[in-house]
């Protein structure tokens, strides 16, 4: 039975390489009939399913793989790509944070920085100012990720596209732009609060007889 499952997992992997999503899904499902918790079987099913438009099956497969082996990053990567694809930005951000945790635990500075850059990007484009503020704090020495990220090499200004982590490298090497952005955000937050309080008092005064 183990050899049958192994052969089906191999066939699913080969089908994915050929972008034959139907064959990949079929082989993964056959493997999972005998080993429902097979990690790679669920990951391959998740990938094939989303390509075939079966979103619920895709998410469920990735989640099942994560339950069986939560410390392996492959299913988290697949799940993050799934949430990005379907536009579920809240869950997308949460999976990126989990990936950052796993990469930091493994001392993989590059992968951790890549996940953090994606998190910053989604906070800028889809998040609130408070979410962006909290995310930018992760670049400062007080962050639990800082020790890992500080092991990145200095950025090469003449070749910014030669690395996938240039923005993070720059922020780690020189935190002043990040600090300035955080201060600016804090000032705007205080200004909004003051304006809100002034408006509230004005309304109360206007309501007096």
Per-residue model confidence as pLDDT tens for the chain (209 residues):
589 999 999 999 999 999 999 999 999 999 999 999 999 999 999 999 999 999 999 999 999 999 999 999 999 999 999 999 999 999 999 999 999 999 999 999 999 999 999 999 999 999 999 999 999 999 999 999 999 999 999 999 888 888 899 999 999 999 999 999 999 999 888 777 677 666 666 666 666 55
Q: How many whole angstroms separate alpha carbon 86 and alpha carbon 49? A: 13
SS3 content of the chain, % helix, strand, coil (to 5): 80, 0, 20
Give me the pLDDT at residue 207, please: 65
Give me the pLDDT at residue 35, please: 95
135's tokens: 């995310």
pTM: 0.86
Cβ atoms 24, 17 nearer than 8 A? no
Q: How many whole angstroms separate alpha carbon 97 and alpha carbon 120? A: 11
Q: How many CB atoms lie within 10 A of CB 21?
A: 18
Cβ atoms 42, 51 nearer than 8 A? no
Give me the pLDDT at residue 1, please: 57
Query: What does the chain come to in residues?
Result: 209
């Amino acid at each position: 039975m183990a050899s049958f499952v192994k052969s089906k997992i191999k066939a699913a992997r080969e089908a994915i390489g050929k972008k034959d999503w139907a064959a990949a899904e079929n082989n993964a499902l056959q493997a999972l009939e005998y080993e429902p918790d097979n990690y790679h079987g669920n990951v391959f099913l998740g990938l094939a399913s989303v390509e075939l438009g079966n979103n619920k099956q895709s998410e469920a497969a990735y989640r099942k793989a994560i339950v069986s082996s939560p410390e392996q990053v492959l299913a988290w990567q697949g799940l993050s790509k799934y949430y990005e694809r379907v536009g579920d930005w809240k869950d997308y951000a949460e999976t990126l944070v989990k990936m950052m945790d796993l990469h930091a635990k493994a001392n993989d500075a590059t992968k951790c920085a890549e996940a953090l850059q994606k998190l910053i990007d989604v906070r800028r484009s889809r998040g609130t100012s408070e979410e962006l503020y909290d995310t930018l704090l992760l670049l400062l020495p007080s962050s639990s990720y800082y020790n890992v990220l500080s092991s990145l090499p200095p950025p090469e200004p003449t070749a910014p596209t030669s690395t996938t982590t240039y923005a993070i490298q720059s922020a780690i090497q020189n935190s002043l732009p990040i600090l300035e952005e955080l201060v600016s955000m804090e000032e705007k937050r205080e200004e909004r609060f003051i304006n809100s309080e002034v408006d509230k008092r004005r309304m109360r005064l206007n309501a007096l007889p």
